[in-house]
Amino acid sequence: MIEIKNLHKSYPIGKDSLHVLKGLNLHIKEGEFVSIMGSSGSGKSTLLNIVGLLDIHDEGEYFLDGQKIENLDEKKAAILRNKFLGFVFQSFNLIGYKTALENVALPLYYKGIGRKERQKIALEYLDKVGLKDWAKHLPSELSGGQKQRVAIARALVTKPKVVLADEPTGALDSTTSSSVMEMLKDINREGMTVFVITHEEEIAAETDRIVRLKDGVIISDELTHKKAKA
């Protein structure tokens, strides 16, 4: 599903440039539940941005669903994001003046799906995350856990191939964190590839495979005990 070969990325800082990713190789197959671990500055967010087509790599190759990602203009990137990827962010990133239902329906709008259909699908997914009754509420009227569940419903609504979660529990307490992780596990069980970025060991331990990053290099890539047992 995701194949990365010798990936390099550097950011210009003044006259110098900061070399963030130093030749990563990573292969994630369809249906995997992977977490990227690393302290801040390890390059894990940069990796997620590149995988999420929000940023462009300098060197190396990146295949998404067998498609080589190169010379990507914003329009193509937008179409690919809409088609293949679902995002879950640490700060939820819901649009404040839209209701939960409208937030979930938004990716479908950009996919070009009709209004009625959109509302129906969005409501289905809200139901799936257990927030059907909150459909008409604004994000400001929801708790952190509820917000993240709305964000997950939004990430899933276009039936993407990969769900990318950037510190999905970073802003949540431990109880809600575990319920969010349960939800991601459920999604994974349905066959979706889930890609989580975190710096919390407990969260990473919930996933099937942990990739550890340090200073732009992969230092370990192993299956968790859970997966090994299963």
Partner 1 sequence: MKFLFDKDTWQEIYSGIRKNKVRTGITIIGVMWGIFLLVVLLGAARGLENKFNNLFGDFATNSVFVWAQSTSKPFKGFQEGKRMTLKMSDLENIKNEIEGLAFVVPRHQTQAQAVNNFKSGTFGIFGDYPTLDKVQKKNLTYGRFINDNDIEKKRKVCVIEEEIYKQLFDKDEYPIGTHIKINDINYLIIGMYKEGAIGSGGPQGAIHIPFTTFQQVYNRGNTVGWFMITGKPEFDIKQIEADVKLLLRNLHKVHPKDNRAFGSFNLGEQIAKVTGFLIGMQFLTWFVGIATLIAGVFAIGNILLITVKERTKEIGIRRALGAKPWEIKRQIILESVFLTSIAGALGIIFGGLVLMIIDATIGKGPDSVLINPTVDIPIVLIATSVLVVLGTLIGMIPAQIAVSIKPIEALRDE
Residues that bind partner 1 (CB under 8 A): 49, 52, 54-55, 74-75, 78-79, 81-83, 87, 89, 93-98, 102, 106-107, 109-111, 115, 154, 158
- DSSP character string of 107-130: HHHHHT--HHHHHHHHHHHHHHTT
Nearest-approach distance from CB 82 to partner 1, in angstroms: 2
User: Residue 212 phi/psi, 5° resolution?
Assistant: -100, 130
Least distance in Å: CB of 14 to partner 1?
A: 17
Distance in Å, CB of 109 to partner 1, minimum:
6
Q: Evaluate whether 192 touches 158 at the Cβ level (below 8 Å).
A: no
Q: Which is nearer to partner 1, 83 or 137 (CB)?
A: 83
Name which of 51 and 210 has its Cβ closer to partner 1: 51
Report in angstroms how near the CB of residue 163 gets to partner 1 at its nearest: 13
Minimum CB distance to partner 1 smaller for 114 or for 130: 114
Residue with token string 């997914």 = 125
Nearer to partner 1 by C-beta: 150 or 210? Answer: 150
Q: Is 141 helix (H, G, I), strand (E, B) or coil?
A: helix
At 218, which helix (H) or strand (E)? strand 217-223
Distance CA 221, CA 212 (A): 6
Helix axes 144-156, 100-111, angle to 10 degrees: 20
